[in-house]
Structure 1
Amino acid sequence: AAARAAGYPGIVLQPEGCPRIDYERTLAAFAEDGFEMYAVPERAGTTPGTPHVLVAIPAYNAAGSIATVVSEAAEFANEVLVVDDGSRDATADRARAAGATVVVHPRNRGYGGALKTIFEVAHQKGAAHVVTIDADGQHDAGDIPRLVATQDDSGAGVVIASRYGTGTEMPFVRSIGLGVINLLTNVSMGRFRSRRRVRDTQSGFRAYTADAVETLVEADDIGDGMWASTDILYATSDAGFEFHEIGTTIRYDVENGSTEGAATHGFGLVHNIAGFFQRSHPILLVGVPGLMTLLIGSLLTAWAFQGTPSTPVVVVGTMAMALGVVMLTLSVLLHVLNTHPVFRQRSDR
């Protein structure tokens, strides 16, 4: 408002930690975007052929939107990579025409499969920052410089563009489901404190450092489905990388949205989180409920014998006690299988 009142034609914002500004591209973007925009960083000093910022887009049947997304992302990147995950339309051709480097999967491998290819290619290219963005146009490419600048400034291995706290209007059912998934994911990672919590665990708009990308290339437990976003958080968290989040606005009115239903997506995520719990916290997932079942069974049986024994209550109590013992034993066995060096070495072969 002060700039407008003073008669200036506009304002260019240089985020904290932003590299040298590419003024030519910044002015060109400014002329297109309007009164206010973030500066476009200059990528001087990188090895020829090595992108400083690689924007990567997993795409499946996105011919209607991919050219626009590539063009917008190219304003803030040294190179745009599109992984066409076995599309049946002209996604690959339109991405190439828009100037992207394109890798095509001969068959559909899923969102996680496309991301794994992205990390492999990015690692080969030696990109300093890899920014993933969706192909349907729901993400604001103008936030790419802020993601990169925040990563440079904070040193976080993963910077996430979060839809929370920015006025994003989320469908009610989706907001409830996403809230549950966020809670379960943070609990499974042991992130209970608010300052360590990841607010948007399912955002596909993220920036990764070269070290984080290398870790993800070497990870062998990232699935091919939509739940790969959670697997990536698990892998980077286990490797000791820090997370940081910035606010962004996500559009839900795009024409070419996700091809997977919300119910299917949600079930896959919950199943994936439960699997992670089983591998990493079997005592918590199985042992604690087993102990509670054993205690309830013991209390029922003791109560049944206070007066005249009640056969149904005794049977229920005995069965609960037996089930509790089985669950406790199973949790201990799973814990041993997951942590003992002998079994870990066998599983790594």
Structure 2
Amino acid sequence: MTDLRFHPCIVIPVFNHEHAIGAVVQRLLAHGVPLILVDDGSAAAGARTLDALAATHPSQVTLLRHARNQGKGGAVLTGCRHAHAQGYSHALQIDADGQHETDDVPRFLTQARTTPAEVVVGYPVYDASVPAVRFYARYATHVWVWINTLSLQIRDSMCGFRVYPLAPLVALAQRGALGQRMNFDTDVLVRLYWDGLRMANLPTKVGYPSDGVSHFQLWRDNVLISRMHARLFFGMLWRAPRLLARHWRAR
């Protein structure tokens, strides 16, 4: 029997990952789920690679394109809005650089099918390639997320491997600005939690980019992330009674 509540796709934001995206797409196609690639203003080499992938797999791959780079969050939202308009119920977000374990896609989608109203959030199990400074620096964001949700329900807000129910995500994006760059992954999870969504946390192996390309810009993105935490903190304060009541009801 077809589950009318569950019609998933995979959204991949891509920016100059021409050396990794082909292998990522090939591994994802094996799972039989439609792919939406969002070219976030890639240079010519990256754009050609994406054009070739879309032309080779026209029934499985949709290619959307930003004329200029808008950031990871902007690309994910473009893909998710398109998916929602096309009738998909859920979008699995995965990065283009090969760091995520594509063999985990069925496990994440099975969880999403089982709990379709929840966000399925990957928390990373790192291999030896993770830089120590990146590994330990994540804990500052973890603590702020726990403060800003008054909950431990979000185990890791920075892993870009997750499944969104599209209707609440698109509704959230319509109400106000979300982080458009590396601040997106954390910002959207906290705000979806505020909107009442529960989180299903799943472990997944994570390496560091197979193509050696990282778009994290130390000063710009740290400033954006710091501002995001400050905004979320003040947003949490007036929501605190409701968040605490939700916590106690759950207990």
Normalised to the residue count of structure 2, the TM-score between the two structures is: 0.83
1:66 aligns with 2:21: yes
Gaps of 5+ in 2: 241-251
1:80 aligns with 2:35: yes
Partner Cα separation in structure 2 for residue 237 and residue 147 of structure 1: 19
Gaps of 5+ in 1: 1-43, 285-349
- The one-letter amino acid paired with 1:179 is Y
1:228 aligns with 2:193: no
What is the CA deviation profile of residues 94-137 of structure 1, one whole-angstrom value per residue up to 9, with x for unaligned ones? 23433221111011111111111012101111112210110111
Task: Choose the corresponding residue for 1:174, options 130, 134, 155.
Answer: 134
Cross-structure match for 2:210: 254
Partner Cα separation in structure 1 for residue 95 and residue 199 of structure 2: 20
Task: Choose the corresponding residue for 2:194, options 208, 231, 238.
Answer: 238
Cross-structure match for 2:83: 122
Match runs of 1:130-279 below 5 Å: 130-163=91-124, 166=125, 168-169=127-128, 170-191=130-151, 196-262=152-218, 264-279=220-235
User: 1:262, CA displacement in angstroms?
Assistant: 4.3
Partner Cα separation in structure 2 for residue 210 and residue 72 of structure 1: 24
Secondary structure (helix, strand or coil) at the match of 1:281 reads: helix
- The one-letter amino acid paired with 1:149 is T
Distance 1:282 1:219, change over 3 A: closer
Cross-structure match for 1:95: 50
User: 1:148, CA displacement in angstroms?
Assistant: 0.9
Runs of 4+ in 1 over 6 A off after TM superposition: none
Partner Cα separation in structure 2 for residue 253 and residue 107 of structure 1: 23
User: 1:220, CA displacement in angstroms?
Assistant: 1.4
- The one-letter amino acid paired with 1:168 is D
Q: Contact (CA 8 Å) 1:53, 1:77: kept in 2 or not?
A: no
- The one-letter amino acid paired with 2:237 is H
Greater share of strand: 2
Q: Contact (CA 8 Å) 2:17, 2:211: kept in 1 or not?
A: no
What is the CA deviation profile of residues 157-190 of structure 1, one whole-angstrom value per residue up to 9, with x for unaligned ones? 2101210xx3534321111110111111121111
Distance 1:90 1:52, change over 3 A: farther
Secondary structure (helix, strand or coil) at the match of 1:231 reads: helix
Q: Contact (CA 8 Å) 1:119, 1:216: kept in 2 or not?
A: no
Partner Cα separation in structure 2 for residue 150 and residue 46 of structure 1: 14
- The one-letter amino acid paired with 1:202 is M
